[in-house]
Amino acid sequence: MNSVSFISSLPVVALAVPVAMVVACLFGPVRRRIPDWLGWAPVPALAAAILTAGYPPLVLEWAPYRLMIELDAPGAMLLGTAALLWIAAGVYAGGFLQGTPHREKFAVAWLLTLTGSLGIFLAADLSLFLLFYALVSLPAYGLIVHDGTATARRAGAIYLGFALLGEGLLLLAFVLLAAQPHGGTLRIVDVVTAMSVSPSRGVILALLIAGFGMKMALLPLHVWLPLAHAAAPMPASAVLSGAVVKVGLIGLIRFLPLGVALPDWGHALVGVGLTGAFFGVAVGITQANPKSVLAYSSVSQMGFLASLIGMGWSAGDGSVVQVAAFYAAHHVLVKGALFLAIGVADVVGQNRFSSAVLWPAALIALGLAGLPLTGGALAKLAAKGPLGYGMVGTLGAWSAAGTALLMLHFLRCLAAKANPEGKTAASVRLVLPWWGMVVAALTVPWALFPRVGLGTIAEAITPAALGKVLWPLVVGGLLALGLRRWGSRLPEIPNGDVAALGGGISRAAAGIGTELERADQWVRRWPVAGISLVVVAVALSAAMLATR
């Protein structure tokens, strides 16, 4: 009995541990040692993901809120892989931050973001979801600007602007969701069911897709992602791309009424998603910084996921959440591992670079494009179902080719950036998480595949199945050869593409600000204010007289 109740309370423990660590940072001695313990914080969450999926929800009555924590299968997949990534990145961060200044501030921001990232998969009611959304969005600013350079500050400011914008849109969506007549709880599944038949469904859906799409880096709200990833230190980029971006995905999974067939909305989502998928590839191949390449790859992959969800939504097929969550879980592992690879490449010497970094990275990176017998192949196979065999299916396969191209480009950039002399003692704390993530990326999908009802392993390794995922790789390889040959002819697109236009916008905004400040000084002159007072009195009486 006791063990059962302990297991069922694991989600709460998973959230309490990082919060306790933050509170402990109030004490100096603890604060100095915290960066070394970052890897331990997500362990209860991993246990919760493995053990408590499907358990009844935990309810806490905290008047007037009714807080609910619940873990369903897609949430468990995402939570588990995110926890794995946070553990690996946490261990990496401990080694990475050794001896650097301001590590304690980084650690506090890390732990706060971790709490939000874990909680967002567990939240089952509106208020908890909003709270964890704020926790995962805002402290991440501290991670991005850790280096303190001007580019980092600019990236952080743009990130924060988008985060606040998304939060505002979601707040409005949640207000509208809560305003519907419902059974008295704010449980997410209940409000979504009520929303699917409500007259204001269109407005709510638009707000939800805009808000979560921004978090998920869907076009055109993606500009913060490449900037943030390039500016943040390595472990932070890993978790940003791996776990924080998935907040948008879990939002779409939880809040869209996917069981109700809405072809208009679904096809719109597919359009946006596929555009992003190809856009990410197109811009990614012009980048030379491997972190930017990976960032644009995330944009592309998230677009692919969105189109996956959109196809399922058009058909009213609720089981697409399993596929999407599986695909996303694989992406968490691979993308996080590749970011760690960049860091490890910097540390490992030239002679060990190929064996220690390049080949494993190639293996999992091409897995993202569907290399046979990797977890990615399983993901691509599972994705074929919802995408269908029409135009969308073909485009999906072509996007896999694009991903292959992009990943080969990434490997080239990685090799180009590799440090000829490694550090004399490549720190275990940096290399071990990398290997751990490689192993996880290769094995975890195989373990999950039969568990989530996507088919059996036997089905997945038939030659026909392997062939389906092979031709995009071949095409991608050919394109990569072409890129090597003619790549220098590509235009130079700055990191953050559209954000470069922001300079003009901010100048215009500054001009407006100056004008308003002048207007303020004019309004504050005594005669003007006095006359305004009289005008207000007259206007009020006129208004009251008019509506007699």
Please list every residue from 217 through 246 that binds another protein, using CB under 8 A.
none
On the 0-12 / 13-18 / 19+ scale of CB atoms within 10 A, 376 is buried
Residues 143-162 within binding reach of another protein (CB under 8 A): 145, 148, 153-154, 156-157, 160-161
Work out the number of other CB atoms within 10 angstroms of the CB of residue 12. Answer: 15
CB of 364 to another protein, least distance (A): 36
Q: What's the CA gap between 367 and 334, in Å, rounded? A: 8
CB of 229 to another protein, least distance (A): 18
Q: Should residue 28 be labelled a site residue for another protein when binding is judged by CB under 8 A?
A: no
Alpha helices in 64-187 (DSSP H): 73-96, 103-122, 126-137, 140-144, 150-179
Tell me the DSSP string of 374-427. SHHHHHHHHHHHHH-SSHHHHHHHHHHHHHHHHHHHHHHHHHHH--SSPPSS--
Q: What's the CA gap between 414 and 406, in Å, rounded? A: 12
Residues 470-509 within binding reach of another protein (CB under 8 A): 506-507, 509
> 59 by DSSP, 3-state: which?
strand
Q: Should residue 516 be labelled a site residue for another protein when binding is judged by CB under 8 A?
A: yes
CB of 252 to another protein, least distance (A): 21
Work out the number of other CB atoms within 10 angstroms of the CB of residue 365. Answer: 28
Nearer to another protein, 462 or 506 (CB): 506
Q: Should residue 127 be labelled a site residue for another protein when binding is judged by CB under 8 A?
A: yes
**x/- contact string, 48-87, with another protein (CB under 8 A)?**
---------------xxx----------------------
Buried b (16+ CB within 10 A) or exposed e, 18-27: bbebbeebee
CB of 306 to another protein, least distance (A): 24
Q: Should residue 534 be labelled a site residue for another protein when binding is judged by CB under 8 A?
A: yes
**Are the beta carbons of 341 and 414 closer than 8 angstroms?**
yes
Scanning 171-179, 264-272, 278-286, 409-417 for contacts with another protein by CB under 8 A, the matching segment is: 171-179
Nearer to another protein, 116 or 235 (CB): 116
Q: Should residue 328 be labelled a site residue for another protein when binding is judged by CB under 8 A?
A: no
| Total number of residues that touch another protein (CB under 8 A) | 72
Q: Should residue 138 be labelled a site residue for another protein when binding is judged by CB under 8 A?
A: yes
Out of 76, 143, 186, 413, point to the residue binding another protein (CB under 8 A): 186
Q: What's the CA gap between 398 and 379, in Å, rounded? A: 15
Scanning 140-148, 217-225, 431-439, 462-470 for contacts with another protein by CB under 8 A, the matching segment is: 140-148
Q: Should residue 176 be labelled a site residue for another protein when binding is judged by CB under 8 A?
A: yes
Nearer to another protein, 390 or 504 (CB): 504
CB of 136 to another protein, least distance (A): 12
**x/- contact string, 96-125, with another protein (CB under 8 A)?**
-----xx--x--------------------
What is the torsional sign of CA 446, 448, 451, 456? negative
CB of 498 to another protein, least distance (A): 17
Identify the residue whose tokens are 């694989």: 330
Q: Should residue 16 be labelled a site residue for another protein when binding is judged by CB under 8 A?
A: no
Q: What's the CA gap between 546 and 123, in Å, rounded? A: 50
Q: Should residue 31 be labelled a site residue for another protein when binding is judged by CB under 8 A?
A: no
Q: Taking Cα atoms as reference points, which of 250, 268, 274, 248 lies closest to residue 314?
A: 268
Nearer to another protein, 443 or 521 (CB): 521
CB of 33 to another protein, least distance (A): 19
Q: Should residue 458 be labelled a site residue for another protein when binding is judged by CB under 8 A?
A: no
Q: Should residue 464 be labelled a site residue for another protein when binding is judged by CB under 8 A?
A: no
Q: What's the CA gap between 229 and 207, in Å, rounded? A: 26
Q: Should residue 532 be labelled a site residue for another protein when binding is judged by CB under 8 A?
A: yes
Buried b (16+ CB within 10 A) or exposed e, 232-270: bbbbbbbbbbbbbbbbbbbbbbbbbbbbbebeebbbbbb
Contact residues for 400 (Cβ-Cβ < 8 A; gap 6+): 369, 370, 380, 469, 472, 473, 476
Nearer to another protein, 72 or 167 (CB): 167
Scanning 402-410, 449-457, 477-485, 518-526 for contacts with another protein by CB under 8 A, the matching segment is: 518-526
CB of 127 to another protein, least distance (A): 7
